[in-house]
Amino acid sequence: MNGLAARMAEAVGTGNVVTDPAELLVYEADGLTHGRTRPGMVVLPATTEEVVRVVAAAREAKVPIVPRGAGTGLSGGARPVEGCVVVSLTRMRRILEVDLANGWIRVEPGVINLDVTRAVSGAGLYYAPDPSSQGVCSIGGNVAENSGGAHCLKYGFTTNHVLAARVVLSDGAVVDLGGPASDAPGYDLLAALVGSEGLVGIVTEVTLKLLRKPEVTRTFFATFPSTDEAGSAVSGIIAAGILPAAIEMMDRLAIEAAKAATGLDWPDVGAALLMDADGTRAEVEHVSARAIEIARAAGALEIRVPRDEAERALMWKGRKSAFAAVGRISPSYLVEDGVIPRSEIARVLREIERMAREVGLRVANVFHAGDGNLHPLVLYDARNPGEEERAARLGGEILRLCIRSGGSITGEHGVGAEKAQFMAEQFTADDLDTMARVRCAFDGLALMNPGKVFPTPRLCGEKPGPYSPHPAEVAGLAERW
């Protein structure tokens, strides 16, 4: 590794190569803190040209590369593999170009999500995808994970807002995908990039679509005896032809956690919904009134409408802080991410509660109810022997429940290292083979973020999984190892 570290120092400067074991601790995991691996080194390039030199050095040394953004991911996607080079893109945080007339902005991958909106808000524009971590997560990571957020029900995920990207492939080639026009000619290779979880290449520039701020936004907060009534309200609102900008659900435990963290005066109830409607004033007033009627008919106990923007922001703070707030009511917790049909929400939440009771654990639920994107938080105490293993097993059973219910093992957090074992339960061997062929078309040596997404053998002593990789991938891995 010493020789490679010297090569990397030549590429990015000595101060931007981290090899000290104590400093490497920070990079052993992403936001999913259980499961840690120390990388061989961390390299922090500042330009596309430096990324090219870093990739070339790693490729020549046959050392795997793990791209990393802000490290807020929740599926182990940025977790290092043994002996790898972590390429951290946090120094690449320039806003390169803004075209207000045509509604786009070109940024480097280290730019923070919320800073995109801040850069253009004075012109009445904003960037729509809004993960709960938008104040700290980076655009490069958002692209890798196809990140979502509360308002993606109406406006779509990251993939709907990426117009173009510059990418460094594992052979050192720099390619430009897409363009500032909304329908660039040729194959839609951006579709293979967004959500590829670092397996395709390293993004060094992204062109994002900007939207005009809506004329009016109306919010209401509704409480319910249980998740059954809240789920019925969600189904009723969507079935009535209403498309909210966001509609979020929290159960009793999630409400308890949010109250503990923020001091909100929310009541102790079985479930709550937080809904935004936006658009023209006449449309929003009509839609909000109709949604409130449906919520009351479904059994709402109380409806609160914020008096001003400050109160509205406080309501959303309660929702967006819910993940971190669970630490107030449990010493440890596991974050899961799955998708189910909206009509299945009440039944699936009852089933999750039953499964949790059987294993003696609690589950807090806070999620994007409008598109059925669940975020069950499995609460446990790692100090108690065997409890972490029980939590992991329960999390896996929840994902299997999502599959059986006609859903998916991830809605926005990605597959990463944590959910690769479930890919073969959702997809057939032919499906996985096709995905691997696409990956190998970009990275035939599987140099980029190996060991993620696909349930493949690692060719270094691990037992083979239920799926065999494409021969080109095996050849590449064998050569590297």
The verdict on residue 409 lying in a domain is: no
Question: From CA 115, how far away is CA 473, in angstroms rounded?
Answer: 38
Mean pLDDT calculated for residue range 252-266: 92
Same-domain status, 232 and 316: yes
Mean pLDDT of the chain: 92
Same-domain status, 203 and 228: no
Please spell the DSSP secondary structure of 441-481, one letter per residue: HH-TT--BSTTSSS----SSSPPP-SSPPPHHHHHHHHHH-
Per-residue pLDDT at 34: 75
Task: Determine if the pTM surpasses 0.75.
Answer: yes
Same-domain status, 111 and 65: no
Q: What is the CATH number of the domain that holds 12?
A: 3.30.43.10
The verdict on residue 414 lying in a domain is: no
As given in the structure block, the two tokens for residue 185 are 């000619």
Same-domain status, 310 and 385: no
Number of domains in the chain: 5
Per-residue pLDDT at 79: 96
Q: What is the pLDDT of residues 449-479, one digit of tens each?
A: 999 999 864 333 333 333 334 444 444 433 4
Residue at which a domain ends, from 293, 324, 355: 324
Same-domain status, 36 and 64: yes
Pairing mode of beta strands 41-43, 85-88? parallel
The verdict on residue 132 lying in a domain is: yes
Model confidence at 392, pLDDT cuts 50, 70, 90, reads very high
The verdict on residue 241 lying in a domain is: yes
Q: What is the pLDDT of residues 399-451, one digit of tens each?
A: 999 999 999 999 999 999 999 999 999 999 999 989 988 999 999 888 999 99
Question: From CA 442, how far away is CA 85, in angstroms rounded?
Answer: 19
Residue at which a domain ends, from 212, 241, 262: 212
Phi/psi of residue 471, nearest 5 degrees: -55, -35
The verdict on residue 421 lying in a domain is: no
Same-domain status, 281 and 381: no
Same-domain status, 394 and 436: no
Burial of 475 from C-beta contacts in 10 A (0-12 / 13-18 / 19+): middle
% pLDDT > 90, the chain = 87
Per-residue pLDDT at 16: 98
Phi/psi of residue 428, nearest 5 degrees: -80, 165
Which residue in 172, 186, 205, 61 sits closest to 443, CA to CA?
Answer: 172
274 with 292: CB under 8 angstroms?
no
* Residues ≥6 apart with Cβ < 8 Å to 212: 103, 124, 125
- 79-88, 289-298, 322-331: segment of lowest average pLDDT: 322-331
Q: What is the CATH number of the domain that holds 246?
A: 3.30.70.2190
Question: From CA 382, how far away is CA 388, in angstroms rounded?
Answer: 5
pLDDT greater at residue 125 or residue 325: 125
Model confidence at 319, pLDDT cuts 50, 70, 90, reads very high
Same-domain status, 200 and 234: no
Q: Which domain holds residue 452?
A: 427-480
Same-domain status, 99 and 195: yes
The verdict on residue 419 lying in a domain is: no
Same-domain status, 398 and 433: no
Mean pLDDT calculated for residue range 105-131: 98
Model confidence at 254, pLDDT cuts 50, 70, 90, reads very high
Sheet holding 174-178, edge to edge: 95-99, 104-107, 202-209, 162-168, 174-178
Same-domain status, 37 and 102: no
The answer, yes or no, to whether residue 52 has pLDDT greater than 90, is: yes
Q: What is the CATH number of the domain that holds 334?
A: 3.30.70.2740
Strand partners, 271: 224, 251
Residue at which a domain ends, from 299, 324, 349: 324
The verdict on residue 415 lying in a domain is: no
Per-residue pLDDT at 481: 32
Query: HSE of 327 in the Cβ direction (CA atoms, 13 Å)?
Result: 6
The verdict on residue 336 lying in a domain is: yes
Same-domain status, 379 and 445: no
Mean pLDDT calculated for residue range 25-39: 90
Phi/psi of residue 397, nearest 5 degrees: -65, -35
